[in-house]
Homo-oligomer: A and B are copies of this chain.
Amino acid sequence: MGTGPPCAACNVREHTFCADLRDDEIARLQLITSRYRFAPKQLIFREGDAAHHLFNVLEGAVKLHKSLADGRRQVVGFLFPGDFMGLVRNAQYAYSAEAVTTVAVCGFERARFEKLMSEFAGMEKRLLAKCGDELIAAHEQMLLLGRKSAFEKIASFLLALSGRAVKRGEPDNPVFLPMTRSDIADYLGLTTETVSRTFSELRRKGVIAPDEDGSVRLVARAALNEIASVT
């Protein structure tokens, strides 16, 4: 399956928890690391599976989701290069992960990873910080899900994606939307129809405009901010 990872040539390293590991630490981490690729829609792991690996996303987009017995789904996150996945409880994955686009990931053997964690100074601290940031984002998403209207949800979503692109060092403006309307709906607690209608309405109002490859151009960011009900 996996082939050896050239950490030295990793171009997302600065955005991951690996960023400030020393060279000798990177070398040891590399020993328990493999690369994997996934095709669009391919399942990376399923909620409840035994968690053998933890992952950094290198290329592409991933969606994380949970579901109810009757099939209703909630997307709990979209991941892009540099993002970490593999939240675990009782050695089992806490959500399912699915490739949205073609995806390349860096997989660490969990058991050995957790040992290394104790040894490498500052690694736990860094992961703790990352976890805290995710928790804050989760709270923000609760506010969105519990209290925002469809319009506010879509506007917030576009602005959030734009902001995250900037953090990865990508342009803020044409926002790349590789996921389906249905994925967006499951992320925002809406239906595909409502998502579609809302996009259309924003287009009609000249706030956004379609761009190449399913990207969206934010024409009037100020208007979006206002619609999003920014705190």
Q: Are B117 and A189 in contact (CB under 8 A)?
A: no
A220 at the A/B interface (Cβ < 8 Å)? no
For this chain, the copies found in one complex come to 2
| A187, closest chain B residue (CB) | B146
| A133, closest chain B residue (CB) | B89
User: How far, in angstroms, from A72 to B143 measured CA to CA in the complex?
Assistant: 9
A191 CB to closest chain B CB, in angstroms? 11
Q: Are A145 and B69 in contact (CB under 8 A)?
A: no
* A118-B125, A134-B135, A136-B87 given; A142·B67 CB < 8 A: no
Cβ–Cβ < 8 Å partners of A94 in chain B: 135-136, 139
Cβ–Cβ < 8 Å partners of A186 in chain B: 146
Contacting B at CB under 8 A, from A85-133, are: 87-89, 94-95, 117-118, 124-125, 127-128, 131-133
Contact of A128 among B124, B189, B230 (CB under 8 A): B124
A147 at the A/B interface (Cβ < 8 Å)? yes
Cβ–Cβ < 8 Å partners of A230 in chain B: 69
